[in-house]
Amino acid sequence: MSVADALAMAKRAGLDLVLVAENADPPVCRIMDFGKLQYEHKKRQRDQKKTLHANKLKEVKYRLRIEKHDYECKLGHVIEFLDKGHKVKISLMFRGREMAHKDFGLDLVRKVIEDLDEHGKADSEPRMVGRSISVTLTPSAKKGRH
């Protein structure tokens, strides 16, 4: 059908001529209410945003001189986040003269990664950024999501 005929049909029906597939040969158009199409498209986008909550990045901060119980508590939180499917950023913050002991900090971050091996994998090696060492962990595929 020619474009002019399609436009005339759309005007008679009181609707719009909407291009659906421009890459097709010939291009495909539909006679419909364009406002309704826009409304449904925005509604679908809003619904998709609601389901994106699983892609959040959680952060757990450590200090160089951390006690065993505090370490285990923070490890428990990280495990909980990873099991729910969240990515987790591990940060080790240095204060004052602690900067002289970066090697101890790297050892602690590597120990955290090793302890979380069955729950998630490190995206890259821990790296120094300013006064902190950070690494991002991604949940393991074998774990079930809640």
Q: Domain spans of the chain?
A: 3-51, 56-139
The H or E element that residue 4 is part of is helix 3-13
Percent of the chain with pLDDT over 70: 93
Residue 45 to residue 80: CA distance in whole angstroms: 29
Per-residue pLDDT band at 144 (split at 50, 70, 90): very low
Q: Could you read off the pLDDT of 88-137 as tens digits, one per residue?
A: 999 999 998 888 888 999 999 999 999 999 998 998 899 998 899 999 99
3-51 topology per CATH: Ubiquitin-like (UB roll) (3.10.20)
Q: Are 7 and 17 in contact (CB under 8 A)?
A: yes
CA–CA separation, 112 and 146 (whole Å): 23
Going by DSSP bridges, is the β-strand pair 87-93/57-63 parallel, antiparallel, or unpaired?
parallel
Q: CA torsion, points 107, 108, 114, 116, in degrees to nearest 10?
A: -160
Name the CATH code of domain 56-139 (choices 3.30.1360.120, 3.20.20.80, 3.30.110.10, 3.10.450.40). Answer: 3.30.110.10
Neighbouring C-beta atoms of residue 123, cutoff 10 Å = 11
From CA 87, how far away is CA 19, in angstroms rounded? Answer: 40
- Specify whether the CB–CB gap between 74 and 88 falls below 8 A: no
Task: Write the pLDDT tens digit of every residue in 14-68.
Answer: 888 888 888 888 888 888 888 888 999 999 988 887 766 556 789 999 998 899 9
